[in-house]
Structure 1
Amino acid sequence: MTVEARWQQELETPTAGFFEAFAAQAAAPDGVRDGVREAVKALIPRIDWDAYQPHVPHGILGLRSVLRLRPLLDEADFLRALATQLHMAAHEGRRSAAATAQVAAAKGSGSWRNLEAFIQARKPGLAYAETQGFDLPEAADFQRLGALVEADMANVGHKGIFAWHLGDLHERLERPRATGRRLFGLVAWLAATQEDTFWCRRAARRLEGAEPRVVPGSARRAAGEGDVRELEAAVREICDLGLVGLMAAFTDRLKRGTPAEELLAALTLAAAEKVRDARRDLEGKTAWIFVYLAMLVETHAQDPRTWAQAAALVNLFPTDEADERMQPRPAAAPSAEGLLNAVLDAEVPEAMGQAQGLCRLGQAEATLRALASAATFNDPSFNHASHLLAVASAADLLPALPGQVGEAVLVALAKSLANSQGSGDLGRLADRALAGGKGFRAGTE
């Protein structure tokens, strides 16, 4: 059996030989790219997306995060993360064989008019089928779907995030036709599921009659004393007010024309506080805030309602009293290795102290690299890939943030990862296979 055939077989029916098949596939020329392409093409029709509603499984979603983190990881960490993420995707709940065949064969006319009508009518199956008639989805097509759902916060913003992540994944896979149609179809399917515009409608009522405009930009500038006080005031509004009070205060900021960089800094600093306050069982859900905020940055969001929704999302999660919040334990000699070990050993104050110390030595990138490495050791199915999603989102956010806010993000992530460590057994199995234990060779079994 060829390497490609063996990989296809494992995607169709995963066995104990999954990682050996992946290792052989990854070792082939362009094997990583082609292996991910084949996985996406094979798995999207097989996964029973309907059964997860209103939630969405994260196996396919997390692939973009793994590829985004590749420049920050050594090859062993990258391949471990990719192998375990693909394993997660391959083990998500399946449709029946008959239903899979029906979905795989579905093909509409490729009309935007029909597609938008199916989305508005909440007919996900027909929306998916219509996309399969498109020749080759372009980045603009994913962006157009994203614009259709930017007011829809169903399942805390998954629709917009899927549109951005899967569009970016399509680009990273070099825009293959068949795989692209599957990714585009999944975004359309999700877009056509039940909507939730509650936060958007509240924001729209508050903004009625005003003409606020959000201009994208960067907050990487030195903050004066007045700026710091204003930032702290905005964070307290986002974290401490009830939803009604928050919407009033935040939309007032939008009406005054607060620049996007200041909105982003306040939202991200507030999100970091929420992550630091999260209980262990809410770590992954709370770190999702970073994923949503990174989407605003990467898509250059300009709709003020979208920013108000982001404030409501951050506000949704609980805040502790400041004197009860877990604090970093200062490290005498902070290092990337010390940070990695503290996270993997679930030493939470120590991990926070290592991250803080590194940042204050001007080593934010080393901090991010260590956190990215730590994220690859966790079985993504244990935490719904939240480690990889959160760290990749931090990598997206940091270039747009002032230093003190970036530090807060990295310290919060160190806390979150250390406080939610799960099993690393799956990663060890992947490592063993990738080291050449029982790889398959072309033309052999």
Structure 2
Amino acid sequence: MIDLKLIRDDAAAFDAALARRGIATLSADILAKDSRRRSVLTELQTLQARRNEASKEIGQLKRQGGDAEALMAEVADIKDRLAALEAEEKALGEELDSILAGIPNLPAADVPDGKDETQNVEVRRWGNPRNFAFQPKEHFDIGEGLGMMDFEAAAKLSGARFVVLRKHLARLERALAAFMLDIHTLEFGYTETQVPYMVRDHVLYGTGQLPKFGEDLFRTTNDYWLIPTAEVPLTNLAADSILDERELPLRFTAYSPCFRSEAGAAGKDTRGMIRQHQFTKVELVSIAHPERSDAEHERMTQAAQTVLERLELPYRTVVLCTGDMGFGARKTFDIEVWLPGQNTYREISSCSNCGDFQARRMKARFRPEGEKSTRFVHTLNGSGLAVGRTMVAILENYQNEDGSVTVPKALQPYLGGMEVIARDA
């Protein structure tokens, strides 16, 4: 949620920031409605004061035996006017809230300008893509060849964009999640958390998925929403709270299923596990001090990168341009893993600093030490990593010509010492 005071104080800067996202000027309409609402509030206060004063005068006149009819008529008129003004103020407030709720976060000053993903800027690269002595396959051909990745069975159960994993690939997914959680909890100090997978409207509003992106979500018949990512419940753990400054940063991680309708994704990644309605992910969330959120952002990104480095998977990290950033982010790093089957880098993690954008929606604050007033926290989230996509990367980067897959050394203890995943004889 954008701070209305920010727009009042510097409308030109607000419009310029939105223009970087390709959004037309909004401040004039917002300020006109805000000005009218403030005028209404002033008139309400004036009329309420006059009503109270007139009521006292009526009482005095009646005690003195005087005629209070004119004053009583005035109070009745004021009552009618107050009712009309209160209705107008409520409507203006709701309209302003609706407008502000639909405005994306303002990009940080150091975010590059650009229209789409082609204008993202690479900031680092790690590892060298493997030179294959054979034509590398894509993950779905490898998984189906192993007899452990079944899209047909999933389609019978649920339709397109689902998968059934069996045997060693099912175990590999579980092992990857444990591997990631151990790195994030033991080395980076995140608190492992189990969260609900169904939430109410206000929770998704707090992190910015509602009201604008409801079509991207799945909703139950009794008004629960299936979470699109554990970011949603994890971040909302700080909602409606006033934290002590010494508690910051709070760092949470959770392994959970994620559910997405993939609205607008028709024709994209129709085969395989890249884009599914249901997938698992290890999520990272930080609730940080505003003055330290940039450093926390770098730290979170490093935690996600560490997983890929331990698995010896080549990757690159890019900072998203203004035209490719998510709704709630003020700055985002995307980590893209090398997929030899596709001969390209594909996103495996997005790490975003949302500033106080979500905190304002959630009313998540902290009290600086020695002060009575409160400030909004900064919230950050990132994938640490998407488990299915990490499996995809392992299958493609560690594939062998005979169709088997070598298990990365760091992962072998999580698979009982297994060194190679091969089709059962």
Question: Which TM-score bucket, shorter chain as reference?
Answer: under 0.3
TM-score (norm 2): 0.22
TM-score (norm 1): 0.21
More helix by share: 1
Larger radius of gyration: 2
